[in-house]
């Protein structure tokens, strides 16, 4: 663990008031933890643009399993990107709807491309890609 440093920040009272209101609504105990999280968030967002840094993404898709061959089309894409697909969870929501959660690893651009490919498939009712981090560069 690296050394901890303290530093000062200049900002308007209005902005600080808004920030403090937000922190209290979210439940932060102190500003330092909130500011650390904001910095981590920026570092993680930077990783998403990197061609090399490995990141993780979670793809969430809801679809009608009666939709023509969608099950097998989703599986085909996962076999195509074997090195990047880490896990796949299937939930039968009801008689008609299915939820598929796919965990993807790799450089940000690749993770995003695979996520977009899954989400944009014909027959997907709802799709969302959440990008995350390997955690290597955030402490």
Nearer to Ni ion, 39 or 89 (CB): 89
Q: In the complex with Ni ion, which residue's Cβ is closer, 18 or 128?
A: 128
Which of residues 65 and 137 has its CB atom nearest to Ni ion in the complex?
65
Query: Could you tell me the smallest distance in angstroms from the CB atom of residue 57 to Ni ion?
Result: 22
Q: What are the φ and ψ backbone dihedral angles of 6, each rounded to 5 degrees?
A: -110, 145
Least distance CB 98 / Ni ion (angstroms): 3
Q: Which residue is nearest to Ni ion (CB)?
A: 98
Nearer to Ni ion, 83 or 94 (CB): 94
CB of 97 to Ni ion, least distance (A): 8
List interacting residues with Ni ion (CB under 5 A).
Answer: 65, 92, 98
The least CB distance from residue 74 to Ni ion, in Å, is 11
């Amino acid at each position: 663990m690296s050394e901890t440093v303290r530093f000062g920040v200049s900002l308007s009272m209005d902005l600080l008031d808004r920030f403090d209101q937000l922190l209290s609504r979210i439940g932060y105990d102190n500003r330092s933890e909130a500011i650390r999280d904001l910095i981590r968030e920026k570092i993680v967002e930077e990783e998403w643009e990197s061609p090399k840094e490995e990141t993780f993404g979670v793809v969430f898709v809801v679809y009608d399993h009666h939709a023509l061959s969608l099950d097998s089309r989703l599986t085909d894409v996962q076999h195509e990107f074997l090195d990047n697909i880490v896990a796949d969870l299937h939930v039968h929501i009801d008689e008609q709807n299915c939820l598929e959660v796919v965990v993807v690893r790799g450089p940000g651009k690749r993770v995003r491309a695979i996520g977009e490919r899954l989400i944009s498939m014909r027959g997907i009712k709802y799709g969302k890609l959440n990008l995350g981090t390997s955690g290597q560069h955030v402490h």
